Amino acid sequence: MLSSKANLSKKLMLASRNKQKKNNIIGYCCTPKNKFLITINVLGCAGPLRFVVNEDDVVDSVIDTALKLYARQRRLPVLVSHANDFLLYCANAEFEALSPSAQIGSQGVRNFMLGKKKMQPQMRMTDRKSSDPNAQKGISCWKSWFNNLFTFKLLSH
């Protein structure tokens, strides 16, 4: 009876060692990733978003996750843009946007602000020519050129 208990305990020990070896080979026993809770205030939205991220997640994936969570919670105003159209800022005091390839944990802060990128106004040559009466007549004058230089029309979508 004593030998059967000893054999059973040896079998259990061997099984647990094999399982540990298998886990080490696959990578399950590696150091766990540090996770932490972040708070993102979306400009124009009433309340902050809170969710857990890994320390080594890149800013671009955090923005994507924040936009998905925002849409899932059906918040207003509706944001229908892609993650590339947004910038993530540290909420403390910096006004520089974080790089999309930077790790979120490297900043040392847990509070962020999410804002939409400002798009530069684009000008079409066809709109510019049709709006200038001198250009239609073929008259080129430095005054009309100078006025057209500072006149921008926004493209409508």
DSSP E strands: which ranges in 82-124?
Answer: 86-90, 111-116
pTM for the whole structure: 0.58
Residue 93 CA to residue 97 CA, distance in Å, equals: 11
Tell me the fold of 35-116.
Ubiquitin-like (UB roll) (3.10.20)
pLDDT above 50 for 65: yes
How many CB atoms within 10 Å of residue 104?
Answer: 23
Q: Which residues have a Cβ under 8 Å from the Cβ of 153 and sit 6 or more positions away?
A: 121, 123, 124, 127, 128, 131
Edge-to-edge strands of the sheet including 111-116?
49-54, 35-42, 111-116, 86-90
Average pLDDT, the chain: 75
Where in the chain are the domains? 1-30, 35-116, 120-157
Is the dihedral angle over the CA atoms 30, 108, 65, 97 positive or is it negative?
A: negative
Summarize pLDDT for 108-156 with one digit per residue, the tens: 899 999 999 887 766 655 555 555 554 445 445 555 655 665 555 544 4
What local confidence, expressed as pLDDT, does residue 12 receive? 63
What percent of the chain has pLDDT above 70? 54
- Rounded alpha-carbon distances, angstroms, from residue 132 to 136, 146, 149, 155: 7, 12, 11, 17
